[in-house]
């Protein structure tokens, strides 16, 4: 979902935010993708000029394919489903019910370090996923997001598979877009695209990997806490790799 990043770049040990004010978390429920995207743009402009505080939106979208700036023609759906072309990095992905989406709208400190920001968001996701019991989840060199390693899971041989994606844009020093964690959503929609432009890897959900029921609501509070800690520097970088 996000552009490839340098996995050797160190995480800063202090806050990446320009502001020392509290980070506000807003739960939006299920909201239309395009409408929310335009709201993000307006809010980011207000944050850039100091008219609005840093905030993180926690939400779900109705079923929607979105294509980042690096999307190739062969990535697009094979079933004729419409795609929303957006201004984030990365390639094509899907959003829909059962997937927790978080959009941090945060003014970054100078000098801007986008790689540091992306790795902090990865670290926040890893914290939550590890705490749920998936301690082998980690990073894959040259790829963003959070992955489960290839191997035998529940008696089945599985490839490396992505459980959370990241796609961002920074405009006037303010972050937009963010992360999506597959909680208990259907994976059928991924059958019609090359998810994130990676043909040799799978996609999974937390519910499938944990083999138990888990909901988006279960993840909102721990994800909010982890994002706050990662951006403030309280949550330090690990070397988790699959």
For residue 206, pLDDT beyond 90: yes
| Higher-pLDDT residue of 12, 167 | 167
Q: Are 76 and 84 in contact (CB under 8 A)?
A: no
For residue 165, pLDDT beyond 90: yes
- Give kind and range of the element (H or E) at residue 128: helix 114-132
* CB neighbour class for 193 (10 Å; exposed up to 12, middle 13-18, buried from 19): buried
Provide mean pLDDT across the span 216-222.
98
pLDDT tens per residue across span 55-100? 999 999 999 999 988 888 888 887 777 799 998 888 888 999 999 9
Q: Which two tokens stand for residue 184?
A: 């208990």
Q: Residue 146: phi, psi to the nearest 5?
A: -120, 135
pLDDT tens per residue across span 99-122? 999 999 999 999 999 999 999 999
- How large a percentage of the chain has pLDDT more than 90? 69
Residues tagged active-site: 196
pLDDT at 4: 33
Place of tokens 């552009």: 3
pLDDT at 162: 93
Q: Are 128 and 179 in contact (CB under 8 A)?
A: no
Local structure of residue 34 (DSSP, 8 states): H
Residue 220's closest CA among 188, 183, 195, 194? 183
**CA-CA distance, 239 to 117, in Å (whole number)?**
16
**CA-CA distance, 61 to 30, in Å (whole number)?**
5
Q: Residue 99: phi, psi to the nearest 5?
A: -120, 125
Q: Are 23 and 106 in contact (CB under 8 A)?
A: yes
pLDDT at 73: 86
For residue 167, pLDDT beyond 80: yes
Provide mean pLDDT across the span 3-7.
35
- How large a percentage of the chain has pLDDT more than 70? 89
pLDDT at 9: 42
Provide mean pLDDT across the span 120-131.
97
**Average pLDDT of the chain to the nearest whole number:** 89
Local structure of residue 36 (DSSP, 8 states): H
Under the banding of pLDDT at 50, 70 and 90, the label for residue 43 is very high
């Amino acid at each position: 979902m996000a552009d490839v990043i340098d996995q050797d770049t160190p995480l800063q040990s202090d806050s990446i935010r320009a502001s020392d004010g509290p980070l506000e978390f807003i739960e939006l429920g299920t909201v239309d993708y395009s409408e929310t995207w335009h709201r993000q743009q307006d809010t980011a402009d207000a944050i850039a000029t100091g008219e609005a505080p840093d905030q993180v939106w926690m939400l779900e979208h109705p079923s929607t394919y979105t294509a980042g700036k690096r999307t190739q023609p062969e990535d697009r759906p094979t079933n004729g489903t419409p795609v929303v072309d957006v201004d984030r990095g990365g390639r094509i992905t899907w959003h829909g019910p059962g997937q927790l989406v978080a959009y941090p709208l945060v003014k970054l400190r100078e000098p801007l370090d986008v790689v540091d920001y992306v790795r902090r968001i990865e670290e926040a996701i890893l914290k939550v996923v590890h705490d749920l019991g998936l301690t082998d989840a980690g990073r894959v060199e040259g790829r963003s997001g959070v992955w489960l390693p290839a191997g035998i899971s529940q008696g089945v041989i599985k490839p490396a598979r992505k459980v959370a994606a990241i796609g961002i844009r920074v405009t006037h020093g303010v972050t937009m877009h963010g992360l999506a964690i597959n909680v208990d959503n259907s994976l059928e929609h991924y059958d019609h695209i090359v998810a994130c432009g990676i043909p040799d890897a799978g996609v999974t959900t937390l519910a499938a990997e944990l083999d138990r029921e888990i909901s988006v609501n279960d993840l909102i509070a721990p994800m909010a806490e982890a994002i706050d800690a990662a951006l403030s520097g309280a949550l330090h970088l690990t070397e988790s790799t699959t």
